[in-house]
Chains A and B, each alone.
Chain A
Amino acid sequence: MAILVSRGLTKRFGGLVAISQLDLDVGEKAIHSIIGPNGAGKTTFFNCVTGFYRSEEGSLEFNGVSLEGLSPDRITTMGIARTYQNIRLFANMTAIENILVGMHPHLTASWLGAILRTPGTVHEERMAHQQARELLQFVGLRGKGDLLARNLPYGEQRRLEIARSLAARPTLLLLDEPTAGMNPHETIEMMAFIQRLRNELGVTIILIEHQMRVVMGISDLVTVLDYGTKISEGTPRDVQNDARVIEAYLGRRGAVAH
């Protein structure tokens, strides 16, 4: 069953067509990778799903509900969370504060409750801190809750960003190049971590990735974009042998030589 369905999705920036007539079905609890050369429209697709961009044509449905015209915060509340290609943590807030911000949609404290510090608010805050610490532990950042986000090493920032997105308790998680800038060892750890997210938390994952080893290693399904159009889709093995994919990546001559 598909959790996210895109039909004929088109996004233009002036004369440039970033995504063109995209049909995509993301299966529940899948790890679905989107690959393609730079400028293929991968991140644009994420921005459309999360409501940051408005598409010109086509439809996007999440669990059967149209995402059209919804604001980013509404979409997050519905259960879609994301990370960013260039890490966008709240750099001057601590790790735990970052996660608490991520929990925002699930907390109910009002400003009045905060001023009066009602028992309900106090209880909720305590539970939230508890959960935030558990999340930190889950991503392997135990005991680093009071460090500033920007003072964490690169790999830990990536994991904190994922922890922050998990705090929204998403059913669909969009990861934008989670292994960018990582060394081989960190990359392997991240692959295992992504699989854990799916297996232990049951989160559906859409992954934008450049490292073929990661894509081929953990994806259930791979979609290949080029100039905003889907040129191939299938299991990692199918896609790997698709002449159109090789052409897109290496050019026509490369395809012939192959």
Chain B
Amino acid sequence: MKPQRWRQTVRTGLLWGAGAVFISLVGLVEALQQRQIITGVISGGHLLLLVVALGAGISAARKHAGTGTVRQLAAAALAGAITGLLPAILVALSTVVNLRSMLVGATPQLFAVLSFARGTDALPWIVLVVAGVSALGGALTLLPGEVRSLVTTGISTLLVVGLMQEQVQLLLQTERTARIREVLFTFDGLTVRGAVLVAVVSAGFSSAWHRQRPKATRRVAGLAPEQRKALRIVGFVAAVGAILILPLFVGPFFSQVLVLVGLYTLMGLGLNLEVGFAGLLDIGFVAFFAVGAYTVGLLTTGSEIAVAHLSWWTATLIAVVVSLISGVFFGLPILGIRGDYLAIATLGFGEIIRLLVLSDFLRPWLGGSQGVLTIPKPVLFGFEFRGPEQLFFITVGASALIAFVAARLRDSRLGRAWMAMREDEDVAQAMGINLINVKLLAYGIGAVFAGVSGAIFAVMVGSVFPHSFSVLVSINVLALIIVGGMGSLPGVVVGSLFLVGLPELLREFSDFRFLVYGAALMAMMVLRPEGLWPSATRRRELHEEVPRIPEGEMVEAQEGHV
């Protein structure tokens, strides 16, 4: 009926197919194939391709929304067939041309994965299987909302548990939970029985949650104010308690990951204050992280370049002051610089600090490329914060304190001045805001947050090296606040869980970290420019709060958008 719709379907198929070829050739499929998801049934690489197929189907069917069941399914299958065709062509091509001479990722192992080790005989099957899965994806969009949410929850939980089976197994290693582990897992993947259980149980929980939630909120709303307050306190205490016992349950590996997430959260909170609140783009932010780490290192270390032998707590307080001062000094020369130029100027500063600590000239004081070694662990009332499980408490405490400070600042006169400056610097100044003060405060306070992060980092590693402070750290922090949602405090946590925690857990991804970053950033900018957990302001900026379009036009506009 509408040829352009079908053209669009073909395009969708080609796009997803190109995606499949791309992730295959960069090596992601092959790397993930090493990981069993359901033992003997499916491995990571195939699963990834299946997810691509599902995605193609869902996306194609959505574009045909409202055209009828048959047509939507047909569109999904067609898109899937085209998606499958591209990897199939790749396999066929590999038999006639030596692709590996140009593309290092085009290994025989990859083609074995793509063709299920059946060579060119499998080509029609690749197309058929992908088309079939794609049609299933299309069928998913036809289900009523509730059922769909059940199915998607089940499948996505299964994916998460499958991908992270190693970590989940670690969690279930205690004696009491050993029985659960045996039911769900073999030594390197889920059992079929386990997979079904995980999917069903998670779907059940999700359905119960959705059904009970309105009732619960209504009941809470019906309570007297004192009771509600009591409930809040109970909730708060429970949350704190849960956090306190968390490291006991998750063990050292998870604690280590959580500490890292916490350190990035701290830096994210600082950068968010500069970029998200005040609109001052800063890509040399790692400098303050380095200042914090080096200050603590030099003030506590046992090696001969030590300036003093203070306790970590005193040293951290001094590090806070030193970062504050360095933030202000950093801000002074760039007060008059705006926008793109600011990014370049700050980038320079980050590099200057790294080169300074690396230089031979300062080696007698800063340790040069050998860094500062043997930094003792913090001790409080005889309790030693030995490893990640103990440092976790310091990290959580610092993050909570600093998030609290950031929230208070945001809602203050200073926070309003930052926001005004972000919106329009000239007008903000014409409103009587002293731009110099306000900017230096943003740089100074942001630097303090990063300095605290550095202070913890120094004891976590036990030593400080210049190479820990490359420009990539700044970029990571910037990426995580963009993905989390610019200007949003919970967004910082979500962003660092997503961009720091996840790659740590999925070690296969760590080689592809920057690919995943790039893809995630692009996807975010296109699909959710306001971030995963946007601040109220950001949401307002990017989506009209009160659309002032008449009903009829709105429907059209939405169709056009989808």
Contact = CB atoms under 8 A, between A and B. Distances in A.
A111 B414 contact: yes
Given A101-B416, A115-B408, A168 B540 contact: no
Interface stretch (B160-168, B258-266, B541-549): B541-549
Contact of B432 (A91, A117, A168): A168
B408 A72 contact: no
B441 interface: yes
A203 B426 CA distance: 24
A91 B424 CA distance: 9
Interface string A77-105: 10001101000101111000100111011
> How large, as a class, is the contact surface on chain B?
20 to 34
A62 to B, nearest CB: 15
Interface string B413-429: 11111011001101111
A90 B431 CA distance: 11
Contacts of A104: 413, 416-417, 420, 431-433
A114 B546 contact: no
A109 interface: yes
Interface string A56-88: 000000000000000111001100011010001
A107 interface: yes
B273 to A, nearest CB: 11
Contact of A168 (B409, B414, B431, B435): B431
A78 B415 CA distance: 23
A164 interface: yes
Interface in A108-130: 109, 111, 114-115, 117, 121, 125
Nearest to B441: A111
A227 interface: no
A73 B429 contact: yes
A210 B430 CA distance: 24
A117 B415 CA distance: 14
A101 B405 contact: no
A109 B412 contact: yes
Nearest to B410: A114
A112 to B, nearest CB: 10
B430 A50 contact: yes
A148 interface: yes
Given A90-B424, A93-B419, A114 B432 contact: no
Interface string A137-174: 00000000001100100000000000010001000000
A148 B544 CA distance: 10
A183 B467 CA distance: 65
Given A52-B426, A93-B420, A114-B409, A77 B432 contact: yes
A72 to B, nearest CB: 5
Contacts of A88: 424, 426-427
A104 B537 CA distance: 20
B445 A84 contact: no
B34 interface: no
Contact of A101 (B420, B435, B540, B545): B420
Given A111-B412, A148-B545, A102 B431 contact: yes
A151 B412 contact: no
B434 interface: yes
Interface in B1-52: none
Given A93-B537, A107-B413, A101 B433 contact: yes
Interface of B: 405, 408-409, 411-417, 419-420, 423-424, 426-435, 441, 445, 537, 540-541, 544-546, 548
Interface of A: 50, 52, 71-73, 76-77, 81-82, 84, 88, 90-93, 97, 100-102, 104-105, 107, 109, 111, 114-115, 117, 121, 125, 147-148, 151, 164, 168
Given A101-B420, A104-B433, 16 more contacts: A52-B430, A72-B429, A73-B430, A73-B431, A73-B432, A73-B433, A88-B424, A90-B427, A91-B423, A92-B537, A92-B541, A102-B432, A105-B431, A109-B413, A109-B414, A114-B412
10 contacts: A50-B430, A71-B434, A72-B426, A72-B430, A88-B424, A90-B420, A92-B540, A101-B433, A104-B433, A111-B409
